[in-house]
Amino acid sequence: MPADKPKTSRHSEVERKFDVVESTLSPSFEGLAVVSRVQHAPTQTLEAVYFDTPDYDLAARKITLRRRTGGADAGWHVKLPAGPDARTEVRAPLADSMPDEVRDVVAAIVRDRPLAAVARITTQRTVSLLFGVDDTPVAEFCDDQVTAAALRPDSEPQMWREWELELAEGAGSTDILDRLSNRLLDAGAVPAGHGSKLARVLATAQPDVPAVAPSDPVRRAVAANIEDLIAWDRAVRADVHDSVHQMRVSTRKIRSLLADESFGLPDDAWVLDELKLLGGILGGARDAEVLAEKYENTLDELAPELVRGRVRERLVEGARQRYANGLRRSLAAMRSERYFRLLDALDELLAAPSATSGRSGAESAAASLAAAYKKVHKAAKRAESEGTDEALHRIRKRAKRLRYTASATGNSGVAEKAKAVQTLLGDHQDSVVSRTHLLEEADAAHAAGEDTFTYGLLYQREVEVALQAEDEIGDALKALKKAVQE
């Protein structure tokens, strides 16, 4: 990335908000074992402009995007939910226009829709820093006087007072937050009726669209996996370990579940082809990441005298370079109009009526499970006659689809047995990929006059993994059949 572009940083926040009236006296923290002293800072003026789409797509997911001046962390901020009382804040340096890195964080939600200012909030903030017995910060107490308005012609200015209590980074468990919160409650505060200042401002500005969960279990599973896809999208953009793999898993789960007859999609439907293409693009980085870890762990297990030549450089460092290239290709795809249209299409599929709406939930679940198992059984019969790696890989893909369907319909027994088949044949397929790669690297090493002894050792290990999977797959398929029939 060019040096003149702003870079983002990530921070974890654990905080609670409280509503108070103007006459409420600030709390005292004296006598608390977790607080040794309090340091009061000068009052700050914080000016923030918040941005969202015309349909408030970010606010609907409890995400805020703002440009704020004033205070020690002036700049562009994106706040993402991270659990009860917790958020992840992504920050970029202050700039007149929104940095690409900031928009990238919410790209899977915003897509190519316009972002515009939706609210302006001014906060007069008085801060008290609370220090622990070892004189390290444990929390920050903020007394905020807020003036805010939604940027709509019919919006009226709002004014209120609120308190915020935020744990210092690395301050420990929320037990400290509980004990400090009790002091605020004793002083007359009540838990805030909003999750953020913006949520309070937009309470009357947002369209009231109640969320309706799909009644069919498979469609509910698709909805959940789309949310997972969007969450892992953010992680991939931040290059979080294993995130490419997890996003690819979400993509494949969605594709498998969309094959259910309740969606009425033909096998060559555009959305299925696009999901397959996306999974393939992500697969380049994922396979390289897996190979890098596999080779590093295996080489570490070997005696030093068995690791000869430039094998570590070729296998481990080479795989890491291919991962970096694969990640760049994945990010390019994830910033394309084609990707955004795929996400739009997934939203539309969930909103459309079910093709099997006349069935009960139990009938739909049973039919989906039976159809998914039938494909596993057919693939297993075909593999018996073909006896190829590709035939075994085909069983794995069908077992994976059955597992996702069984999980979606609440059949944990079938899901567990399908996972066993998938895991066995996943190890087998990883062995196939690894052996192909080892042969290529061994040939390159031989041509360069290098010792190829270690490549042979690693190749034999992979052969043994594949043979063990082939020995065990028959029993795993029998156990799956029994689970389906129960």
- What are the pLDDT digits (tens) for 299-319? 999 999 999 999 999 999 999
- The pLDDT score that the predictor gives to residue 356 is 61
Q: Is the pLDDT of residue 9 over 80?
A: yes
Per-residue pLDDT tens over the stretch 207-253: 554 455 566 788 888 999 999 999 999 999 999 999 999 999 999 99
Contacts of 38 (CB under 8 A, 6+ apart): 29, 128, 129, 130, 131
pLDDT exceeds 70 at position 440: yes
Note the pTM of the prediction, 2 decimals: 0.83
Q: Domain map of the chain by residue range?
A: 9-204, 218-485
Mapping DSSP onto H, E and C, the string for the chain reads CCCCCCCCEEEEEEEEEEEECCCCCCCCCCCCCCCCEEEECCCEEEEEEEEECCCCHHHHCCCEEEEEECCCCCEEEEEEECCCCEEEEEEECCCCCCCHHHHHHCHHHHCCCCCEEEEEEEEEEEEEEEECCCCCEEEEEEEEEEEEEECCCCCCCEEEEEEEEEECCCCCCHHHHHHHHHHHHHCCCEECCCCCHHHHHHHHCCCCCCCCCCCCHHHHHHHHHHHHHHHHHHHHHCCCCCHHHHHHHHHHHHHHHHCCHHHCCCCCCHHHHHHHHHHHHHHHHHHHHHHHHHHHHHHHHCCHHHCCCCHHHHHHHHHHHHHHHHHHHHHHHHCCHHHHHHHHHHHHHHHCCCCCCCCCHHHHHHHHHHHHHHHHHHHHHHHHHHCCHHHHHHHHHHHHHHHHHHHHCCCHHHHHHHHHHHHHHHHHHHHHHHHHHHHHHHHHHHHCCCCCHHHHHHHHHHHHHHHHHHHHHHHHHHHHHHHHHC
pLDDT at 358 over 80: no
Q: What is the pLDDT of residue 359?
A: 53
Average pLDDT rounded to a whole number, residues 43-71: 95
Answer yes or no: same fold for 9-204 and 218-485: no
- Read off the pLDDT of each residue in 89-108 and give the average, rounded to a whole number: 95
- Please state which of the ranges 26-30, 269-273, 418-422 shows the lowest mean pLDDT: 26-30
> What mean pLDDT comes out for the span 115-132?
96
pLDDT for the residue numbered 360: 53
Using the predicted structure, report yes or no on whether residue 271 has a pLDDT greater than 60: yes
Of 115-129, 138-152, 366-380, 432-446, the range with the lowest mean pLDDT is 366-380
More confident residue, 469 or 172: 469
Average pLDDT of the residues of the chain = 90
Of the chain, the percentage scoring pLDDT greater than 70 comes to 94
- What integer is the mean pLDDT of 452-460? 96
Whether pLDDT at 206 is above 90: no
Q: Could you please state the CATH topology (level 3) that the domain comprising 218-485 is classified under.
A: CHAD domain (1.40.20)
Please say whether the structural domain 9-204 has been given the CATH code 2.40.320.10: yes
Q: How far apart are CA 166 and CA 37, in angstroms?
A: 16
Given this model, what pLDDT does residue 105 score? 95
Residue among 116, 118, 108, 153 at smallest CA distance from 250: 108
Residue 283 predicted with pLDDT over 60? yes
Q: Which of 67-76, 92-101, 223-232, 262-271 bottoms out in mean pLDDT, i.e. has the lowest?
A: 262-271
pLDDT value of position 133: 87
